[in-house]
Amino acid sequence: MLALIGNASVVVQLVMGLLLVASFMSWWYIFLKLFAIKRATRLADAFETEFWSGADLNTLYQRASKDWKNTGEMERIFEAGFREFLKLRQQSNLDTASMMDGARRAMRATYQREMDKLESNLSFLATVGSVSPYVGLFGTVWGIMNAFRGLANVVQATLANVAPGIAEALIATAMGLFSAIPAVVAYNRYTHDIDRLANRFESFMEEFSNILQRQAFKA
């Protein structure tokens, strides 16, 4: 395999190098995203369990405010909404609808930021998955073209004359598939997992809004 790569033309070698770099980068992002989604799911499970167990909202808010960087996405959404709600409740000239709109906007803004973080680098995986086979195919076509051009000075063309060149060229296609398949699988899986987290966050925002609305009426 190494001999075939070493004997390939410069263009094919550049294509192989590009695909190898893309493969390494995609695997790097695959593992980063795997750990990030697992962490987000674990922290969301823990926070939901504590939240719905009847924990005091002020206690949860104080803890989230002091250790904001180490909290999960759902807890940061809660902290943003409750902080805005407390600020608006101190203003005597605001009605319940205005307080709820402000809290919902704060949670929605935090939700968008957290989703952008979770979805970061997914576009790279999608690009590698869709482009790599065509890049590898370009290297293969170029290598086969050179292999047949080499027959111009051969009196009697045989399969032995073109087989090495074609074999070298086909490695580019194999490397393209090697780069694309894991990226596509990871992209589809992570998109599904992030969509499920997004649904959980949106459901939590609606349920938490109902809790805040009841507190606003009591106030």
Q: What is the pLDDT of residues 23-66, one digit of tens each?
A: 999 999 999 999 999 999 999 999 999 999 988 888 989 988 88
Contact by Cβ (8 Å): 111, 205: yes
3-state secondary structure of 53: coil
Q: What local confidence, expressed as pLDDT, does residue 37 receive? A: 95
Q: CA 6 → CA 136, 143, 146, 192, 208, distances in Å?
A: 16, 13, 15, 41, 62
Highest mean pLDDT among 83-97, 139-153, 176-190: 176-190
- With vertex at residue 185, the alpha carbon angle to CA 179 and CA 197, rounded to the nearest 5 degrees, is 135
Is the pLDDT reported for residue 218 higher than 90? Answer: no
pLDDT at 54: 83
pTM given for the model: 0.84
- Please give the average per-residue pLDDT across 91-110, as a whole number: 87
pLDDT band for 1, please (50, 70, 90 cuts): low
Mean pLDDT of 103-108: 94
Over residues 92-102, the mean pLDDT reads 82
- Cα–Cα nearest to 50, from 33, 63, 36: 63
Position 30 scores a pLDDT of 95
- Residue 51 tokens, joined: 């939240």
Angle between helices 10-51 and 159-218 (to 10 degrees): 20
> Per-residue pLDDT tens for 119-145?
999 999 999 999 999 998 888 888 787
